[in-house]
Amino acid sequence: MGGWGVVCTENIEISDDADISPYPALHLGHDRDILRQAGMVELVHKHGALAGAELAHLGLYSANRTTRRTSIGPSSRLLIESTEPVQARAMDKSDIRTLRRDHRSAALRAKAAGFDIIYVYASHNLSIASHFLARRFNDRTDEYGGSLENRARLLRELLEDTKEAVGDRCAVALRFAIEEFLGPDGLTHDGEGADVVELLKDLPDLWDVNLSDWSNDSQTSRFSEEGYQEPFVSSVKRITGKPVVGVGRFTSPDTMVSQVRRGVLDFIGAARPSIADPFLPKKIAEGRIDDIRECIGCNICLACENSFVPIRCTQNPTMMEEGRAGWHPETVPIRRSDDRVLIVGGGPAGLECALSLARRGHHVTLAEARDTFGGRVSREASLPGIAAWSRVRDYRLGQLGKLPNVDLYPASRMELGDILGFGAARVVIATGAKWRPASMQRDGISSVVAVDTILTPDDVMDGQTPQGRILVHDTEGGYMGGLIAEKLQRCGATVIFSTPALTHSGFLALTLEQDRVLRRLTSLGVVMVSCCELAGVTNGQATLVSTLGADPLVIAIDHIVVVADRLPVDGLAKQLRSDPDRLVDVGIRSVNTVGDCVAPGLIAHAVYAAHRFARDF
């Protein structure tokens, strides 16, 4: 419906010993699975697109927790990233024949389900074909080990088997990670990665190329620009005469067209951008470039998948609600009303609420106390590396500017009297939240410490850049602690970054950037201290007590930034609700709250809550 030429599944398990639970996966290991996949294919074909099936056995990642089959791999070794101390069995020739048969059978089932493109998967360091290719996993001495040609033998056989089975009607694609960023220990785009392309160059009908592992392939905007994979994948078209598709968090049509015109790629692949805007191709085709809801590269979508829950998106609050709740990404039900709506607070929740209510047909006034709209989005986007997050603000402001039934008032702080006298029948409070201030810090802060010694992330985002030795103590475990530490270190301070957790910024493991964040902070000279509670601050010293029973750590500090929790800014809402009779007297029919002023969370939570409110209004 959105104009995509091809819609591909994610990994489809080909057999019972390819089980990656609890991660979600599709299945084509049994004939009963055909009908389930055929429904997706039918809907894709309904809109004129082709359907692609990514068949995969994830080898050393397949712990088979549900099927309880023995894991298999090229060699006997521990499973990769398993939470259990379980090893895979080294595959013998019979196992290889069984794997090939299972893959061929899954390809035939995919064909029966109506898929047009059948994938062989050797990407992200996730598949058994990738594990055979990698010397670090493959220590075989038979014809499937040793030389690159031998290590690529299984991949070649899977491609040949698949083409023989379904090539009469289906295209056969190879999804291949050409660069692993492991130097001589892995595939490199100018070494063995390119050699694999040379070995197999004319065998697939389509090369789908990317980077390995997943954290490299799906980098956040904090660490890469769109189209960042070009230097690594551009050589593929020089080797093969077959068409090439690639990814790279593309959001700008100019970048996409440039890579096609310059012969880097033939087709543009998009996963995260299609989540942020499922109608991206249609908007390009219709020349509505300004209407594209661009991916901000925050990887909240990946965090959800890694948490085994339905995907959400910061930019697109309808993601995964299309079927469950019937939400269309581009339209909301029209409900004409003479009630004027006043929204107080122009952050992510206020902007989304205003846009969705206005699209429904309400006359909306949006008042923001600061000179600019965006709230926490604008403030956080000023921190190192996440300027792209401002797209949450910019997209909504751009869309609001096109609507005649919206009035925008920046630099307009609304007090109780202002709201009561405004004349709006409906009032929505979206005033956000503030980081807990120094005067309200809890455990570990001595009452004798000067208030200006203790700062919050809000202080730093407001422009305070204290010098000297600064302790950033993070009990939240999200992205903010690392951003504040990086900001202050770059501004010339000496930063000690402490946390009571086992590791810093634990949430970022879900967004696939924790290791990058910690490496960057270490390279900048930030001192990392984990497993420590802040026990006290007095006389220019902070005492950190180990949660593991080690001796306390006393460090000299000039300032402390505490990244703890946030307080909802809900004073206006409480004032309004305290006198219902007065609301009736002035004609206010309802007072509602949305976003962080209800319960602080991620930006994605605020946007979703506001969108849901507007649909239910």
In 114-227, alpha helices (H): 128-133, 148-151, 153-166, 192-200, 214-217
- pLDDT exceeds 70 at position 512: yes
**Which long-range CB contacts under 8 A does 504-510 form with residues at least 24 apart?**
504/474, 504/477, 504/528, 504/530, 505/474, 505/477, 505/478, 505/479, 505/481, 506/477, 507/303, 507/477, 507/478, 507/479, 508/478, 508/479, 508/482, 509/306, 510/302, 510/303, 510/306, 510/307
Percent of the chain with pLDDT over 70: 98
- pLDDT exceeds 80 at position 560: yes
Question: What is the C-alpha radius of gyration for the chain, rounded to an integer number of angstroms?
Answer: 27
pLDDT at 393: 98
DSSP assignments along 52-82, one per residue: EEEEE--GGG---TTT-PPPEESSSEEPTT-
Buried/exposed code over 103-125 (b: 16+ C-beta within 10 A; e: otherwise): bbbbbbbbbebbbbbbbbbbbbb
Distance CA 508, CA 476 (A): 12
In 535-579, alpha helices (H): 571-577
- pLDDT exceeds 60 at position 378: yes
Confidence of residue 166 (pLDDT cuts 50, 70, 90): very high
DSSP assignments along 302-359, one per residue: HHHHHTTS----SS-TTTTTTTTT---SS---------EEEEE--SHHHHHHHHHHHH
- pLDDT exceeds 90 at position 372: yes
- pLDDT exceeds 60 at position 446: no
Superfamily holding 6-217: Aldolase class I (3.20.20.70)
Amino acid (one-letter) located at 248: G
Q: What would the pLDDT profile of 257-276 be if each residue is shown by its tens digit?
A: 999 999 999 999 999 999 99
For residue 601, give every residue at least 6 positions away whose Cβ sits within 8 Å of its Cβ, in sequence order, or none: none
Distance CA 411, CA 409 (A): 7
- pLDDT exceeds 70 at position 407: yes
What does the block give as tokens for 87?
């090893």
Query: What is the arrangement of strands in the sheet containing 117-122, beginning at the earlier edge strand?
Result: 26-27, 6-13, 50-56, 117-122, 171-179, 206-211, 244-246, 267-268
Distance CA 266, CA 207 (A): 10
What integer is the mean pLDDT of 438-453? 58
Cα distances from 493 to residues 117, 467, 553, 560, in angstroms, run 55, 5, 20, 12
Distance CA 135, CA 141 (A): 11
What integer is the mean pLDDT of 15-44? 95
Beta strands 566-568 and 469-474: pairing type? Answer: unpaired
Confidence of residue 337 (pLDDT cuts 50, 70, 90): confident
Q: What would the pLDDT profile of 168-192 be if each residue is shown by its tens digit?
A: 999 999 999 999 999 999 999 999 9
pLDDT at 571: 96
Distance CA 380, CA 563 (A): 14
Amino acid (one-letter) located at 527: V
On whether the CB atoms of residues 38 and 51 are closer than 8 A, the answer is no
Q: Do the domains 437-564 and 6-217 match in fold?
A: no
What does the block give as tokens for 91?
């595959």
Confidence of residue 443 (pLDDT cuts 50, 70, 90): low
Distance CA 508, CA 522 (A): 16
Percent of the chain with pLDDT over 90: 93
Say what the pTM is.
Answer: 0.95
With 0-12 / 13-18 / 19 or more C-beta atoms within 10 angstroms meaning exposed / middle / buried, residue 261 is exposed
Q: What count of Cα atoms within 13 Å lies in the side-chain half-sphere of residue 416?
A: 12
Three-class DSSP category at 419: helix
Confidence of residue 83 (pLDDT cuts 50, 70, 90): confident
pLDDT at 108: 98
What integer is the mean pLDDT of 26-47? 96
Fold for the domain defined by 340-434+568-616: Rossmann fold (3.40.50)
Question: In the chain, what are the domain boundaries?
Answer: 6-217, 340-434+568-616, 437-564
Question: CA angle, 536 as apex, 532 and 537 as ends, to 5°?
Answer: 115
- Determine phi and psi for 363, rounding to 5 degrees: -85, 120
- pLDDT exceeds 60 at position 36: yes
- pLDDT exceeds 60 at position 451: no
What integer is the mean pLDDT of 55-67? 95
Least confident of 74-88, 410-424, 517-531: 74-88
- pLDDT exceeds 60 at position 552: yes
pLDDT at 423: 94
pLDDT at 233: 97
Confidence of residue 450 (pLDDT cuts 50, 70, 90): low
pLDDT at 219: 96
Three-class DSSP category at 563: strand
Distance CA 540, CA 453 (A): 9
pLDDT at 336: 73
CATH for 437-564? 3.50.50.60
pLDDT at 81: 87
What integer is the mean pLDDT of 575-601? 96
